[in-house]
Amino acid sequence: MSTLSTVNRLVITRHCMASREQLFRGWTEPEQLQRWFFAAQPDATAHADVDVRTGGHYHVSLYGSNGAVIYTVRGIYQEVTPPARLVFSWRWEVPPLDEADTLVTVEFRDLGERTEVIVTHECLPDQNPCWDARLDRLEQLWA
C-alpha cells in the first residue's frame, strides 16, 4: 500500500487478492458497494444506486437505525472502461462538505494473482474522503 497526498490530490495504491473483474464489480454493483463503501456499523444500513455508463449517475448512502441519512456521496461517471478504469465526479451531499464536485479515477492493473488498485482523488478541499478505510474494507471482501 502507498499513499501520496498533495494539497489538492490524493493517490492511494493497494494490491488485492482478486481479479480486475471482481474488483470492478465491487465498485459498480450496488450489492457489492453496500458491503464495503461505508464503515460497517451494527445499527446502520448502506444503500447504493448506480447507472454504470458514461454520463450515468451514482449515489451511495448510509442510514442510521432510525432511517435518517448519515452520509451520502453522489456523482456522475465520466468514463467507464471495464474492467480497467472508472472516472467519476464526487460530492458529499450529506453532510454537505463539498463546494464543488471533485474527480476520482480508479484504475485496476492485473499483476497475476493480485490486482493493483490505484485511486486518484483530485481537486480535494480540506476534507478527508477516508479512502484508506474504504480500501481496507474492499480488500477484506477477498481476504
Whole-prediction pTM value? 0.88
Superfamily name and number for 2-140: START domain (3.30.530.20)
- For residue 126, pLDDT over 70 is answered with no
What is the pLDDT at residue 125? 65
**Cβ(83)–Cβ(99) below 8 Å:** no
CA–CA gap between residue 46 and residue 116 (Å, rounded): 26
pLDDT digits (tens, 9 = 90+) for 90-115: 998 888 877 789 999 999 999 999 99
**Per-residue pLDDT band at 41 (split at 50, 70, 90):** confident
